[in-house]
Structures are given as C-alpha cells and as structure tokens.
C-alpha cells in the first residue's frame, strides 16, 4: 500500500471561524504569500512545489466521473451564503460553481493571488493613518456561464447583501439573511471609475477602518446581480442605481429573492437561467438524485484554465460508510473522520488506495447554551459551567480518540491559535492557568452544590449525527461527569445544525469550527448578537477586543487582543476547546493532484485539477 503522510503546520497568527465543520490566517498584512513555501503533499505525479495550486500547464478536460463525499447532508441550493445554508456540505459544492475571487487559501492557510480572475492592489492604507483603499480589476473575459459579464454590478450587489446596518431599519433583523453580515460594514460603497459604470470591470473599495481580512471580503461571496434584477423585474443597471440611491423598497425585493429564490427542494437542480456558473463547473441537468448525490459538469463557457475532469459527483453519504465506498469504487476521494480505526481500515485496502495525513485548522469544542437552560446565568451560571469543565476528561478524549491517529496531539487550550502554531504557548500562558487540564470530581461536586441546581442535572449534548468519534466523546464525558452529579444525555441528530443548534434546544453543543486564513472572523462567533454566536454569549471585554483586533493591520495588536479574548473566554467559560482535528485523505491509487489541506476548503479545494488514473 502507498501511504503518503504529511505533517502540515500553518504559520498563522490568529484564527477565525465561520464554517460549521464539520476561519485562521497568515499574519502577514502586506503579502499574500510568495509561493516559495514547501510541503510534502502528494499530487499523484510528484511532490507539490508549494502550498499553492500547481500550474498544470495546458489543461484539456478529460471525459470521466470522479465521486466524492463530504457527508450525508443534502445540498440546499445555489445560495449557500445564508445563515441557514452556510456549511461545509453546501460550500464544497458551491465553491466549484461560484467565481473563485481574487484570492484563495493554500494548503497551509497562506493566501495566494488568483490572477486568472483579476487583480487587487492596496493603493493606500497599509501604513500610517491614511484610509485603506483597494483597487480591483476583473479579467476582461470573466463571464457567467450565460454570457453575462462578471462586473461592477455583481460586486456592489455583493456589498449590499452583506451590509445589514446600512439597509435594514432593524439591524437585528437584516433584510439580507447573510451569514457574514459584518465584513462589508467596514467599507464604503464600492465605486466604479465613473458614475454610470454599472458594467465596469474595475472599481475601488475604501475601508473605514484598517480591516485585516480585506483580501477575503470583496469577491468571496459573489452571486449574479443580473439574475436578481431580472427576477424582480428591473434591469441590472437599475439595480445598481437602487443601491446607490439607497432605495430600500427595491432592495428589500432583491433581498427576498436572495434569501429564498436560490434555495432548492431535494432533487430539483437549480435552473441555469437563475443559477449560472462563474467558475469551471456548472450544475448538470438531471444530475441531482434526492438523498443520494448531485453531479456537476465542466462549464464550457469558462474563460480560463478548464476543469481537468468532465464531471464530479458529490454523494450524500455519512462518514461511517466512506471507507467501504472507497473500497467498492463508489467514491474516488474521501476525507474520513480520523478515528482510532481509520488508518488500520485504510491500510487493509492495500495498494488500491493512497493515503495522506496532516494537521488541520479545525478544532473540536463544547459550547454552552447561555440563552436558556441550566448553564445560563439565570440558572446554574458560572459555577455550573466550571463544574462541567472540571469533569470533562479532555486528556482522556485526546489519548483514546486522537493520539492513535496523531501521536503528537495535545489537549487544545485556545480557540484562536492552534498547538502547532508559533504563538500558541505565548497566548495560552497569558490566558489560561491550566485548572481544567485534569479531571477534578471533588471540585466539580462542590461547584454543583454552589450553583444551587438540584442533582442529577440533565445535560443534553447535541451534535450532527451519525458521528462515531463524537458518540465516543460523549460516552467518556458521561462516564466522568455523571459521577459529579450530572446526567449526560447524547442527543445527536442528523438535523442538529439546521434545527436544534439555531433553536437553542440543547445544554451543550459539540461541534467544530473549520478554519482557513481569516484573522478577524472569530468576531462572528464570540461577539454579542453576531450571527454565529448560537449560544447567546455576551461579554463587553470580548466585544471591545474584537473591535480593536478587527480594525488594525498591526500583528502586535492582533496578538495582544487575542490574549485578552482568550483569557476572558476562559474566565467566563464561553465553552471548552478540546483538540485540533487530525486530517486524513484517501483516494483511488494513481489519481493525480489530490492534496490534503489544513483549511476549511477540505480536500476539494483544488477539485478542478483532479484526474483519475489512466
């Protein structure tokens, strides 16, 4: 059997989080990565020359089908950017359909320029007090698959969809249900080269603050403005003018379509007239079988380097079946959960498969429900949260479930930096005194008594099921915490992310955030009333620290504020970090260009380059 195991570690200062895993960053404010970092990724045709995408030369699309799965969750539609649809499962498909944008993440979280799409240049603001101004230019031949140009209209509509405070009478109920309704509040309206340039290929964005993640904002969430305009009965030019005129009535209609018009019922492939592609793949007519799979095909109207393989099918298959599916040939590429059984099972498949392993920017955590229930401040509060933290056997979880896959694994004692990153020890030393490193049932029992909550205390731990490793985690937690006076119940469910998590129907949520190259996106998780703060945590010190961090390009400020944030999250127990996920990728032997990545993009980050063995 060919086993290629890589140990990738991202040179990252702070990590943010946006994608339910199930977001992290280079700290360089002035460079997007030189491309000279090296890695031992397997590409199937030699070692990768950098953590960026390989230059494959003259690519000709090859007839064939590649089968891949991120999990059992059904695709929900073309718009995977709402607070309800933004997940790994949807974005791994839509990242093949939406325009790639001006930048992308390499395998270690380094941010690279995507010059095939266009250019982005900071013309002021990287130093001093001058405003941060970015000039953008989209490739002249960049078009949607229906022939409509990708232009200024798409970018100004992207801006308004993420700017709830500017448009909505009630900022807590924005008319656009965008998951990242914060990034563009940092900017003024993008401006074209002239007043009537709604279809221009170049434009400028000026930031009100020194926003460290500016590379990851403009162009990262593009959806076709011309489709929205047509669906609400106006021209694309009129839609742009409505934004410039702050025409709330027209834009509310646009938001209604943005929120609902691109969602799909299972099995109903989005119609090409409302769901054009801006990248190398497009939806295949008749290619969605509800509950089973969805197929995308090469976009014949893509202007740049074409897809290497004609079709990719995403199977809706839970993680427990991935190894068997790879053996049967029902999947060609898998990214199985790295359990104690994963590698032995893959090794048993012999020479038919190739395996890669490496560190990832994804971390497991237990989050408390502050909105209601026994851990809220109205009931058991801080004392009960501390009691739970004292009885969770984090070291045992790592020893039993993670070290068999990654012998170097440790208990994770931070949220915004990872154990394999250079500033981890410095941040942890400033933020956490180690009190929960070992189980202390005596202290847990004392704190339960202090909380005043009668025992046994029912604690439902929810997660997206089936997930064998999380089932095992909860078994270990129950074995320990029930001794202190809790009654731990496993309430994992397939619809946990869509139902129980947003509804607050749990006491503790067990899941992971998947990271990439973002510096400030953790603000969306830990700040008061932000979209992904599902548990309802609120802390003025944390809120202000995120404001300071997110308005600076200074690495020292990022580090200082990260220490403040981490300490406050520990002192008030937002939740409990557990471990950084090890990563495993396996694929049909002989495939080319399959590369494990540490980032939230998953192994499909370069799926347009995959080739089956000849």
Q: Between 178 and 100, name the one with better pLDDT.
A: 100
Query: For residue 25, what pLDDT is reported?
Result: 29
Distance from C-alpha of 499 to C-alpha of 496, rounded to nearest angstrom: 5
Is the pLDDT at 184 greater than 60? The verdict is no
Q: Between 174 and 247, name the one with better pLDDT.
A: 247
The pairing of strands 457-462 and 486-490 is: parallel
Query: For residue 175, what pLDDT is reported?
Result: 87
Q: Are 600 and 19 in contact (CB under 8 A)?
A: yes
Q: Between 476 and 212, name the one with better pLDDT.
A: 476
Q: Between 445 and 553, name the one with better pLDDT.
A: 445
Q: Provide mean pLDDT across the span 9-26.
A: 32
Kindly indicate the confidence band of residue 186, based on its pLDDT and cuts at 50, 70 and 90.
low
Kindly indicate the confidence band of residue 5, based on its pLDDT and cuts at 50, 70 and 90.
very low
Is the pLDDT at 45 greater than 60? The verdict is no
Query: For residue 15, what pLDDT is reported?
Result: 28
Kindly indicate the confidence band of residue 9, based on its pLDDT and cuts at 50, 70 and 90.
very low
For helices 555-572 and 424-431, angle between their N-to-C axes, nearest 10 degrees: 40
Query: For residue 165, what pLDDT is reported?
Result: 61
Distance from C-alpha of 76 to C-alpha of 87, rounded to nearest angstrom: 10
Query: For residue 8, what pLDDT is reported?
Result: 30
Q: Provide mean pLDDT across the span 56-84.
A: 93
Nearest one of 327, 326, 351, 323 to 336, comparing CA atoms? 323
Bridge partners (DSSP) listed for residue 2 = 354
Is the pLDDT at 48 greater than 90? The verdict is no
Query: For residue 30, what pLDDT is reported?
Result: 27
3-state helix, strand, coil in the chain (%, to 5): 30, 20, 50
pTM across the whole model: 0.78
Distance from C-alpha of 91 to C-alpha of 89, rounded to nearest angstrom: 6
Q: Provide mean pLDDT across the span 66-84.
A: 92
Q: Between 99 and 108, name the one with better pLDDT.
A: 99
> Over the stretch 578-612, which tens digit does the pLDDT of each residue have?
999 999 999 999 999 999 998 888 899 999 999 99
Mean pLDDT, the chain, rounded, equals 88
CA atoms within 13 A on the CB side of 456: 12
> Over the stretch 135-172, which tens digit does the pLDDT of each residue have?
999 999 999 999 999 999 999 999 999 875 666 667 66
> Over the stretch 420-469, which tens digit does the pLDDT of each residue have?
888 999 999 999 999 999 999 999 999 999 999 999 999 999 999 989 89
């Amino acid at each position: 059997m060919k086993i290629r195991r890589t140990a990738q570690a991202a040179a990252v200062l702070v990590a943010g989080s946006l994608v339910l895993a199930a977001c992290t960053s280079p700290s360089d404010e002035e460079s997007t990565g030189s491309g000279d970092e090296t890695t031992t990724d397997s590409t199937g045709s030699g070692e990768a020359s950098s953590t960026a995408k390989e230059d494959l030369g003259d690519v000709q699309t090859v007839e064939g089908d590649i089968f891949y799965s991120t999990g059992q969750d059904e695709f929900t539609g073309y718009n995977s950017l709402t607070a309800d649809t933004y997940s790994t499962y949807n974005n791994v498909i839509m990242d093949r359909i939406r325009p790639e944008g001006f930048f992308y993440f390499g395998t270690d979280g380094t941010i690279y320029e995507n010059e095939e799409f266009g250019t982005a240049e900071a013309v002021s603001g990287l130093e001093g007090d001058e405003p941060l101004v970015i000039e953008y230019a989209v490739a002249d031949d960049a078009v949607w698959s229906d022939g409509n140009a990708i232009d200024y209209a798409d970018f100004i509509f992207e801006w308004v969809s993420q700017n709830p405070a500017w448009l909505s009478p009630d900022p807590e109920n924005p008319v656009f249900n965008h998951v990242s309704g914060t990034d563009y509040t940092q900017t003024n309206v993008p401006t074209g080269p002239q007043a009537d340039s709604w279809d221009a290929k170049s434009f400028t964005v000026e930031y009100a603050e020194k926003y460290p993640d500016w590379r990851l904002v403009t162009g990262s969430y593009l959806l076709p403005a011309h489709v929205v305009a047509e669906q609400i009965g106006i021209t694309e030019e009129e839609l742009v003018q409505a934004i410039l005129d702050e025409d709330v009535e027209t834009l509310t209609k646009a938001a209604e379509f943005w929120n609902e018009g691109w969602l799909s019922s299972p099995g109903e492939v989005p119609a090409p007239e409302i769901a054009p592609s801006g990248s190398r793949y497009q939806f295949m007519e008749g290619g969605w079988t509800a509950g089973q799979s969805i197929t995308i095909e090469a976009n014949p109207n893509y202007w740049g380097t074409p897809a290497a393989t004609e079709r990719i099918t995403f199977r809706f298959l839970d993680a427990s079946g991935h190894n068997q599916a790879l053996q049967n040939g029902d999947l060609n590429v898998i990214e199985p959960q790295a359990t104690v059984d994963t590698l032995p099972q893959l090794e048993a498949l012999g020479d038919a498969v190739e395996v890669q392993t490496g560190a990832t920017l994804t971390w497991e955590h237990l989050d408390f429900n502050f909105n209601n229930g026994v851990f809220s401040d109205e009931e058991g509060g801080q004392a009960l949260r501390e009691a739970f933290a004292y009885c969770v056997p984090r070291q045992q979880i790592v020893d039993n479930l993670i070290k068999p896959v990654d012998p170097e694994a440790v208990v994770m004692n931070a949220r915004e930096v990872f154990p394999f990153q250079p500033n981890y020890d410095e941040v942890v030393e400033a933020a956490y005194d180690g009190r929960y490193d070992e189980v202390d049932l005596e202290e847990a029992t004392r704190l339960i008594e202090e909380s005043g909550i009668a025992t046994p205390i029912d604690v439902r731990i929810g997660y997206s099921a089936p997930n064998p490793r999380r089932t095992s985690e909860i078994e270990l937690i129950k074995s320990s915490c029930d001794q202190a006076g809790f009654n731990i119940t496993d309430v994992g469910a397939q619809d946990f992310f869509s139902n129980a998590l947003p509804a607050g129907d749990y006491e503790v949520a067990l899941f992971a955030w998947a990271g990439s190259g973002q510096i400030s996106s953790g603000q969306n998780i830990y700040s008061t009333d932000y979209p992904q703060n599902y548990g309802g945590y609120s802390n003025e010190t944390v809120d202000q620290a995120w404001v300071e961090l997110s308005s600076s390009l200074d690495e020292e400020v990022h580090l200082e504020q990260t220490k403040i944030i981490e300490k406050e999250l520990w002192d008030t127990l937002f939740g409990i970090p557990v471990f950084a996920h090890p990563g495993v990728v396996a694929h049909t032997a002989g495939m080319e260009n399959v590369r494990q990545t540490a980032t939230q993009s998953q192994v499909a980050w370069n799926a347009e380059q995959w080739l089956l063995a000849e």
